[in-house]
Structure 1
Amino acid sequence: MDEPLQMRDFGRCVVIAGKNGSGKTRLLKLLDDIAKRYVTPDARRQAELEIAQQRQAHQSHQAEIQRFQTQPRSSDLPGQVEVMRSQMAMFETEISRREQRIAVSEALIMSGEGQPKIVFFVPRSTSLEDPADGKENEAIHRASAFASGLGAEGAHVAAPAYARQVMRAATSERGSRKPRGTAGSHQAETDLIDMFGELLGDGVQFELNESQNLQLEGLTEQYNTLLSDGQKVLFQLACMLHARTASLKDCIVFLDEPENHLHPSALNDLVDRLLDVLVDGQLWISTHSVPLIAHLSATDPDCLWFAEAGKFSRAGRAPSRVVNSLLGGTEGARRLNELTLLPSRYASFLLLRQCLLPPGVIPYEGKDPQLDQIRAVLDSVRPPGRPLSILDFGAGKGRLLDAIADAAGDKPIGGLIDYVAYERCEEDAEHCQMHSAALYADGGSTRRAFSSLADVQQVRGEKSVDIVIVCNVLHEVRPAEWLDEFGAGSALAKLLRDDGFILFVEDYAIPVGERAHEYGFLLLDEKELGKLFGITENDVAQGWFNRNDHAQPGYRGRLIAHMVSAKCLERLTERSRWEAIRALNERSLERLQTLLAQEHNTDTKPVLGRENALVTQLVANSALWLRDNPKAFAASYEHG
């Protein structure tokens, strides 16, 4: 394994993909081992108290031994000293043991307060043992133990006994073997048989024979010989899900290569059902299954991690590494692409689909070119003799703060940056506050994160901010709120110093679509921002408006930061808003026309597919807003 191993910012599902021997299974076993030694916050506080007490006792014994050594010797002193030294050694051992346990526990960051419950959920046997072939009391015991358990160990023996017990109980209360009930005391049987149908296939149904033992409906042959290996695995999984739905809801479930013996569609159905069950839990999957990866990445691109030689990196935004690895290189990936969709078409369809989904929060993962760009701008405007006061508008979970701390290294950031976060989501704002408390020497006594701009203004005061950073946020703000958020009378305008700026930072090749508001999203570039704030040539000459393109060629023209002086905010009006969105519509139409005029073939890159989807979406989004705001349209010409 790569040391140190760092993985963070997980969602409800974590997918680890890579070749055999890349470290996927080893990672799951490592997490299981650490979780078994995890110390809960309450237990940690108790351990730290006991460590402090034992250190105090150790110091007391040390002082007592030193006192003995200065006194006249007596016959019993050597014995007392030996006893105290023995106790000191015991204290040292206990302190070391508790510190090691706390250190191991720090490797995991848990969202809850309790002990993590990790469950390995993939059956390893493809053979089912019929309870009719063994002793009745042993089968009853296995069924009961199966119902109260969590993991997959022994499921090939216990699952058939459990299924038989569920059906026997329903039959006993019903008074006859048929027909099967659908409610009340028969619901458990109904749910189990429905689950068999969903996972094993509609044609696979179980019943009890005359001896009250399991058989496939209408067949007398042993089901263990009639079912395929995959169906036997699914039988075990169906019984596990049925028995443990309630107890699994807050567990961390591990699926280690669950695709073995299973059809891709059956595996996808199983994973979806598990995610429904894990209401407060988490699902970790190590896999080689490209269909499963595609299924889960379509709804959560950030779930995917790439394993290679014991190293793990997030791959959701660049899944080609995973696909190439699993398909034997680029040639295998190319053949799969040819079998399904052209890459550019897939990228286009994916972005358009994402445009119907709400935006997510981007975590900091180090070496972020966009944040490097922001740091370069901040260095250029830092005032002499005092920290630069910044307001992180739409801070999320503190991605910018992480980048600033990374750049500072071991240096305290308090002397460089006076950081304040504004994030509407109270949970994320609280996360920013706790994170800033760990980075600043004041230990959290200074409030640095707010869910209301009015609170920022009340606590920090007017004219207190040098620069407001709006990173990947402006396109998510409803146009109806632009004047209130960025206009002359806004809280931001009051917070900014007279020589302050707003820094609008955007990725103009936005890789993931989103539905941020009723008009999707509106991505304003230099021309549109100039219209929005009434920028003149004189403003540019005075440095009140400037465009900062990324220094690296690979991001040039894509990652751009626009600085707008506080002096220009008063020019934001309903008319300038309309002109900005009209300019966006015109620019997007021109780019779309250029793309359509070009020749494309099977080698067309995914980036062009995404761009085509992006400009098409911007044309539609801006046109919808212009259609819904005819009064602004008329006013623009009446005063133009």
Structure 2
Amino acid sequence: MESGLPEAGHEGSYPTKAISLKYNLNITYNVKRNPILNSTAGGLNPITDAPYEVDKLVAANKSGGFDEALRSVYSYFFDVARALHEAEHPRSRDLEPVKQALDDARAFNKVLQALLSVEIEPVLNENRRVIAQIRGRPFNPDELSRGELVLAVWAIILHRQREWLRGACILIDEPENHLHPDVCIRALAALQKDIIGPDGQIWLATHSIPLIAHAGMESVYFVDNGTIDYGGNKLEKVIERLMGGTEGRAKLRAFISDAEEIAFDVFAAQSLLPPSVASPRRDDPQQKQMVGIASNVGVHKENVRILDFAAGRGRLAAALKQAGLAAERKFTYYAFNDARFARKEELQECLQHVRQLEQLRPPETYLVDSLYKLTGPGAEPMDLVVMCNVLHEIPVDDWQRCFLDIVDVLAEDGKLVILEDQLPPVGELPHANGYVILDELALQELFRSKDAVTALHKEPDARLTAFAINKSTLRQVTPESIGRALGKVMRRAREEIRLIREVRGEERTYQLGRKHAHFTMLYANAQLAMEKYPERERPGAGEERRA
């Protein structure tokens, strides 16, 4: 099946050059401690090869197509990491070439994030050489899957070969190989819009239903018995060939119509699995939330002391470093991870991000596995304690004790900030009774006052929330207030479920199914917790309602 993506209105315009992008993935980058590179492939190791050769290979990406980009993957990632690192050095970050290289590196990270959901971070290896890191590990192209390697090359092409590819006719054979359809479509759309422009064309040889649907039937030609024919006026024949006949079409139609049910089932199944711990990534909106809060707390203080409660892999530490606050020395960061639950690889990644903050003492001293260690003689209290996506994972029975432990480490004017995703994309089972996410009204009940909770940040869609609670308020939690907070959660979940079920069948989407599953789980989890904490009306609540 041949699918062209010509730009409308250019029937009489013919591109001046045709370029074939083929997926020849035979290049090997052997990056062991004593690397032996495949010299015939032309890949370089930026750690061991001459800097001149590495720079030359990176610069060659202004033209050359897929193979040229593939040969330079390792060197290109290294070059981006070097630009990011140089921009952090106080002696060089204000130099114009360094600023330009930083802008270029950030632009590449945006492309990489869009295609691979990762970003390059600069780190120092054991020899204090700058290397690229992704997903908390030193970058090694040999560790990428075939699909990931294809996407890394796409990212380089989209970022660097824009001028060379402008106006070209690009031929791609089965781009869906090794790639998820959604990512493939986004890459092709970016190639058409941002790279080759309105005078260029993309021609695909494909059997992918999603790609053909993206192109539209008016752009499809099909091959039948050795002849090429226009597919737009033979719609039935084209679809049946691709789908395996009438029965295949019927099965696909049924599968797509069940999207809401599938989403519900997937989320429900995930809600029986333990939670995962997210790694830091650039452009994470919740990390931006955390940085904004940290920068606005204690502005009158010379040094703001921050405790990252259940820090996981150190997202807040990474976010502070990326935002440039680390260089200003306006804070001291501590990470608390409970020794009973933290995994070794999570602690190692967290330590790495703490090390990059370059604080006064050895980085290990800023990692604690017990809050009690922060309460000894001479210990300085914390100005800010951050709980990001944490409270909902703590068993309800431990809430009261947890808040009192935080009171012991907070300064008198200190604050606890609770950040939550009110509509989590993935289900989880952090403990036997399941997760319970509190919104603003539920937190007000928990801390026994409307004035107890200050909303610091709300996304327009109300998903990502951040609420501040003063130290004195943390002592107000009682078994009765826990019961009332759980009652609020149940009523909110019940109302959301009713609204979702009123949506007509044809308007029910995968996202709606996931939302339905979340609030169903939230209702059930709160109900289980309510067995120990029966709801009793807060004194004075009746008068508040009448007022």
Output the TM-score relative to the length of structure 2. Answer: 0.57
5 Å matches for 1:205-604?
285-287=145-147, 306-307=151-152, 309-311=154-156, 321-322=182-183, 324=185, 327-329=209-211, 331=213, 338=253, 340-341=255-256, 342-408=258-324, 412-413=327-328, 415-424=329-338, 425=342, 427=344, 428-442=346-360, 444=362, 447-458=365-376, 461=379, 464-486=381-403, 490-536=404-450, 539=451, 544-550=452-458, 553=460, 556-601=461-506, 604=508
Alpha-carbon spacing, 1:305–1:528, altered in 2? closer, same or farther (3 Å): farther
Larger helix percent? 1
Distance 2:25 2:434 in 1: 41
- How many Å apart are 1:24 and its aligned residue? 8.6
Q: Is the 8 A contact 1:394 1:423 kept in 2?
A: yes
Distance 2:393 2:370 in 1: 17
Distance 1:483 1:636 in 2: 19
Distance 1:566 1:527 in 2: 19
Alpha-carbon spacing, 1:319–1:623, altered in 2? closer, same or farther (3 Å): farther
- How many Å apart are 1:520 and its aligned residue? 1.4
**What is residue 520 of structure 2 aligned with on the other side?**
616
5 Å matches for 1:67-216?
106-107=131-132
Q: Is the 8 A contact 1:22 1:307 kept in 2?
A: no
Structure 1: where are the runs of 5+ without partners? 1-19, 40-46, 49-98, 119-251, 255-282, 288-302
Alpha-carbon spacing, 1:408–1:309, altered in 2? closer, same or farther (3 Å): same
Larger radius of gyration: 1
Distance 2:301 2:281 in 1: 32
Distance 1:339 1:460 in 2: 67
**What is residue 626 of structure 1 aligned with on the other side?**
530
Distance 1:380 1:111 in 2: 28
1:317-364, Cα deviation, whole Å (9 max, x unpaired): x97623646654382699896352433333222211111110001011
Q: Is the 8 A contact 2:416 2:469 kept in 1?
A: yes
Q: Is the 8 A contact 2:484 2:535 kept in 1?
A: no
**What is residue 41 of structure 2 aligned with on the other side?**
none
1:76-106, Cα deviation, whole Å (9 max, x unpaired): xxxxxxxxxxxxxxxxxxxxxxx99969994
Q: Is the 8 A contact 1:37 1:105 kept in 2?
A: no
**What is residue 43 of structure 1 aligned with on the other side?**
none
Alpha-carbon spacing, 1:102–1:503, altered in 2? closer, same or farther (3 Å): closer
Q: Is the 8 A contact 1:23 1:309 kept in 2?
A: no
Distance 2:406 2:425 in 1: 29
Alpha-carbon spacing, 1:493–1:524, altered in 2? closer, same or farther (3 Å): same
Which secondary structure does the structure 2 equivalent of 1:25 belong to?
Answer: coil
Q: Is the 8 A contact 1:589 1:619 kept in 2?
A: yes
1:379-413, Cα deviation, whole Å (9 max, x unpaired): 2223324122111011001011101100017x625
Distance 1:579 1:639 in 2: 13
- How many Å apart are 1:22 and its aligned residue? 8.1
Q: Is the 8 A contact 1:23 1:310 kept in 2?
A: no
Q: Is the 8 A contact 1:469 1:502 kept in 2?
A: yes
Distance 1:558 1:570 in 2: 28
Which secondary structure does the structure 1 equivalent of 2:414 belong to?
Answer: strand
- How many Å apart are 1:527 and its aligned residue? 0.9
Which secondary structure does the structure 2 equivalent of 1:524 belong to?
Answer: coil
1:167-205, Cα deviation, whole Å (9 max, x unpaired): xxxxxxxxxxxxxxxxxxxxxxxxxxxxxxxxxxxxxxx
Which secondary structure does the structure 2 equivalent of 1:577 belong to?
Answer: helix
Alpha-carbon spacing, 1:337–1:373, altered in 2? closer, same or farther (3 Å): farther
Distance 2:133 2:444 in 1: 48
- How many Å apart are 1:605 and its aligned residue? 3.0
Distance 2:136 2:523 in 1: 41
Which secondary structure does the structure 2 equivalent of 1:504 belong to?
Answer: strand
Alpha-carbon spacing, 1:368–1:443, altered in 2? closer, same or farther (3 Å): same
Alpha-carbon spacing, 1:633–1:434, altered in 2? closer, same or farther (3 Å): same
Structure 2: where are the runs of 5+ without partners? 1-19, 37-46, 49-123, 159-178, 187-207, 217-248, 542-547
Count residues in correspondence.
358
Alpha-carbon spacing, 1:461–1:34, altered in 2? closer, same or farther (3 Å): same
- How many Å apart are 1:525 and its aligned residue? 0.5
- How many Å apart are 1:445 and its aligned residue? 6.1
Alpha-carbon spacing, 1:592–1:363, altered in 2? closer, same or farther (3 Å): same
Distance 1:100 1:477 in 2: 36
Whichever residue aligns with residue 33 of structure 1, its letter is N
Whichever residue aligns with residue 454 of structure 1, its letter is Y
**What is residue 33 of structure 1 aligned with on the other side?**
30
Give the alignment's Cα RMSD to 1 decimal.
Answer: 4.2
Q: Is the 8 A contact 2:136 2:349 kept in 1?
A: no
Alpha-carbon spacing, 1:358–1:110, altered in 2? closer, same or farther (3 Å): closer
Whichever residue aligns with residue 582 of structure 1, its letter is G
- How many Å apart are 1:442 and its aligned residue? 2.6
Alpha-carbon spacing, 1:38–1:508, altered in 2? closer, same or farther (3 Å): farther
Output the TM-score relative to the length of structure 1. Answer: 0.49
